Structure 1
Amino acid sequence: MPGTLLLKQSEIKELISMKEVVDSVETAFKAYAQRDVQMPPKEYLFFQEGDLRIMPCYVRSTEEAGVKCVNVHPHNPLEKQLPTVMAVIELVNPETGFPMAVMDGTLVTDLRTGAAAGVATKYLARPDAETLGIIGAGKQACTQLMALNEVMDIKEAKVFCRTCSTRTSFAKKATETYGFKVEAVETAEEAVKNADVVVTTTPSRKPLIKADWISPGTHINAMGADAPSKQELETKLLLKSKIIIDSWEQASHSGEINVPVAQKVLKRKDIHAKLGDVIVGNETGREGDEITIFDSTGLAVQDVVTAGLIYRRAREKGIGTDFDFIS
Structure 2
Amino acid sequence: METRVLGPDTVTRLAATDAIVEAVKSAFAASARDRAVMPAKSYVDLPEYNGDFRSMPVYLAVRPGDGTSEAAWDAAAVKWVNVHPDNPADHDLPTVMGTIIYTDPETGFPLAVLDGTRITRLRTGAAAAVATEYLAREDATSLGLVGAGRQADSQLEAIATVRDVQRVVVADADETAVARFLDRWGDRFDVREGTIAEAATCDIVSTVTPVEEPIVETVGPDTHVNAMGADAAGKHEIDDDILLDARIVVDDYEQCTHSGEINVPYGEGMLTDDDIDATLGPIVAGDLPGRRDRDGVTVFDSTGLAIQDVASAHVIYERARETDLGDPYKLVETE
**Partner deviation per Cα, 1:34-59 (whole Å, 9 max, x = no partner):** 11000012111112212111000011
Query: Partner of 1:181 in structure 2?
Result: 190
2:299 is aligned with 1:315: no
DSSP-derived class of the 1:151 partner? coil
2-structure distance, mates of 1:168, 1:192:
19
2-structure distance, mates of 1:175, 1:121:
22
**Partner deviation per Cα, 1:9-36 (whole Å, 9 max, x = no partner):** 1111222211111111101111111110
Query: Partner of 1:102 in structure 2?
Result: 113
DSSP-derived class of the 2:161 partner? helix
2-structure distance, mates of 1:313, 1:168:
33
2:232 is aligned with 1:227: yes
2-structure distance, mates of 1:63, 1:123:
25
1-structure distance, mates of 2:244, 2:20:
32
Q: 2:177 aligns with which of 139, 158, 166?
A: 166
2-structure distance, mates of 1:252, 1:86:
24
TM-score in terms of structure 1 length: 0.94
Query: Partner of 1:52 in structure 2?
Result: 53
Query: Partner of 1:71 in structure 2?
Result: 82
Deviation, structure 1 residue 96: 2.8
**Partner deviation per Cα, 1:279-324 (whole Å, 9 max, x = no partner):** 1111122222510000011110111121122112212211112211
2:160 is aligned with 1:154: no
Structure 1 unpaired stretches of 5+:
none
DSSP-derived class of the 2:332 partner? coil
Q: 1:192 aligns with which of 196, 200, 210?
A: 200
Q: Is the 8 A contact 1:172 1:182 kept in 2?
A: no
Task: Say which is worse superposed, 116-125 or 12-21, in terms of deviation.
Answer: 12-21
2:213 is aligned with 1:206: yes
DSSP-derived class of the 1:63 partner? strand
2:261 is aligned with 1:256: yes
| Equivalent residue pairs, number | 320
2-structure distance, mates of 1:95, 1:199:
38
1-structure distance, mates of 2:33, 2:254:
17
Which residue identity does 2:132 align to in structure 1?
A: T
2-structure distance, mates of 1:142, 1:16:
14
Query: Partner of 1:90 in structure 2?
Result: 101
C-alpha RMSD over aligned residues:
1.3
Which residue identity does 2:89 align to in structure 1?
A: L
DSSP-derived class of the 1:199 partner? strand
Which residue identity does 2:193 align to in structure 1?
A: A
Deviation, structure 1 residue 191: 2.1
2-structure distance, mates of 1:263, 1:81:
37
Deviation, structure 1 residue 95: 2.9
1:16-31 to 2 correspondence within 5 Å? 16-31=15-30
Deviation, structure 1 residue 199: 0.6
Query: Partner of 2:128 in structure 1?
Result: 117
1-structure distance, mates of 2:114, 2:147:
27
Q: Is the 8 A contact 2:251 2:303 kept in 1?
A: yes
2-structure distance, mates of 1:3, 1:269:
50
